[in-house]
Amino acid sequence: MFDLSSPAYALRRYIFKLQHNSISSYVALFIVLTAVLSVLSFSLVRGPTLPSVYHALHCLAFVVLFVLLAAKVYRRRKCSGFFFQGKFTVV
């Protein structure tokens, strides 16, 4: 077992933060792409069609996901994962 001050815990914490940042970056990219698709669909057709509404809903879903990732809602819950306990075992 390792305590919170061990190098193994610091490395796992760093990897976790790095993965969280890369996922947030991908979600932000998807927000931009779906917003562009939605704006182009609405402007070229000059009215709501099924694809343009579909792109707008996807953009909204990615915005909600990005807000959840940015707010770190998962930390507010009491998780039983090894990142949130005082001690953990290395597998």
Residue pLDDT, tens place only, 12-48: 878 877 887 888 889 999 999 999 999 998 888 888 8
Tell whether 86 is covered by a domain: no
In terms of pTM, does the model score above 0.75? Answer: no
| Average pLDDT of the residues in 64-88 | 62
Tell whether 90 is covered by a domain: no
Using CB atoms within 10 Å of the CB of residue 38, give its burial: 0 to 12 exposed, 13 to 18 middle, 19+ buried. Answer: buried
| Cα distance between residue 1 and residue 85, in whole Å | 12
Tell whether 15 is covered by a domain: yes
Tell whether 87 is covered by a domain: no
Tell whether 81 is covered by a domain: no
Tell whether 49 is covered by a domain: yes
